A = this chain, B = another copy of it.
Amino acid sequence: MSFERANIRKMQGYTPGEQIDSANIIKLNTNENPYPPSPEVASALLSIDLDLLRRYPQPMADKFRAAAANLHKVLPENIIATNGSDELLRLAITTFVEAGETIAVTQPTYSLYPVLADIQDCKLTQIPLHANWDMPADFAEQLENSAAKMLLLVNPQAPTGKLISTSYIAQLASNFSGLILLDEAYVDFVDPDLEYNSVSLIENCENVLILRTLSKGYSLAGLRFGYGIGATSLINPMMFKTRDSYNTDHISQQLASAALSSTEYSKDIWQRVRSQRNIMRKSLNELGFVTPPTQTNFLLCQVPDSLGAENLYQLLKQRNILVRHFDQDRLRNKLRITIGKESENVALITAIKEIVAATG
């Protein structure tokens, strides 16, 4: 017997990266931050008043909203806190896109998006990126032709690591009749010299909803805390209608607020990741792995045919090193490798060198 809705019955669920519970694993497969949460977060955890847990949490996470508004120089009303950025993606779709309407994405993109479209019974239009991962010249035209109600756009992009400029996004938004969800999961790792800041877009582009997460930049994937930044016409329906009434818990609200206040620590670990990614990229290119520049905490590298991407993934796994291989068009000959701690990165490069030598 099956009670599932027809579209749920025929769909496939999302496959997250492997989460192996072992201290011996070098885990470079799910873009987690290699450094621990900040001292401010540690202090917030120690300050939790257990007795407060018997009461419902602050329903709208006001303390966190104030902290995020302060950080981004917007009003608290422009912020919605969510149970991971996963919740924001789902809320945006269920609030703004009818079943049968179209969601547009780039190809390749974050592999969760097609699953979310399936759950809401939406059509999916995939617009291929240029061979060098740039947006194609006619992207805006293809987008408008797709009649999409929403564009899900990761920036810096996943899994390619490329950054799209704010001026491009502003132009795209002003010509698009639908809504752009700008998924900035990896934005904290963008080189500060590029002065990338999309938040000012929300003033003039009422159709841009920015997604942020504390999972990557703030080393809090285990906490499940994300947020949205946008015009109140986008925030309010999710905040006051479609969100679960108490969608974030008391403890995570305190820790997330503390995380946003840990400015110095955060800047330091982001810089370390950037520094390590330069070293990693150079090493991989020297080994013949074509590895374009990235503004995220991962690299997408093309594995030499003599080795094979899936083969290398398996050989690394045998050595307790996990990286990510996607069995999909344009990605089959590549691996996505998270930037780890220096020792982890050195271990990876050493392992690849040994494998190359043994294969040679």
Per-position 1/0 for A2-17, Cβ under 8 A of B: 1111101101111010
Q: What are the residues of chain B within 8 A of A237 when measuring CB–CB?
A: 2, 4, 8-9
Per-position 1/0 for A246-273, Cβ under 8 A of B: 1111111001000000000000000000
Within 8 A of B (CB), among A26-66: 27, 30, 32-37, 41-42, 45, 48, 50-59
Interface residues of chain A: helix, strand, loop or mixed (majority):
loop
Q: What is the CA–CA distance of A245 and B56 in the complex, to the nearest angstrom?
A: 24
Q: What are the residues of chain B within 8 A of A224 when measuring CB–CB?
A: 57, 83, 246-249
> Which of A99, A207, A244 lies at the interface centre, i.e. has the most chain B CB atoms within 10 A of its CB?
A244
Contacts A11-B241, A19-B59 known; A223 to B246 CB distance under 8 Å? Answer: no
Which residue from chain B places its CB closest to the CB of A39 in the assembled complex? B50
Please determine whether A57 and B222 come into contact, CB atoms closer than 8 angstroms: yes
A195 at the B interface (CB under 8 A): no
Q: What are the residues of chain B within 8 A of A206 when measuring CB–CB?
A: 1
Which residue from chain B places its CB closest to the CB of A48 in the assembled complex? B45
Q: What are the residues of chain B within 8 A of A34 when measuring CB–CB?
A: 54
Q: What is the CA–CA distance of A252 and B223 in the complex, to the nearest angstrom?
A: 9
Q: What are the residues of chain B within 8 A of A115 when measuring CB–CB?
A: 241
Please determine whether A54 and B222 come into contact, CB atoms closer than 8 angstroms: yes
Q: What is the CA–CA distance of A245 and B19 in the complex, to the nearest angstrom?
A: 12
Contact with A94, one of B11, B55, B119 (Cβ below 8 angstroms): B119
Can you list 10 contacts pairing A with B, beta carbon distance less than 8 Å? A2-B233, A2-B237, A5-B97, A8-B242, A19-B56, A41-B50, A53-B220, A55-B221, A57-B221, A83-B224
A-B CB proximity, top 9 nearest: A222-B250, A54-B219, A53-B222, A86-B244, A224-B249, A13-B241, A13-B240, A36-B51, A56-B221
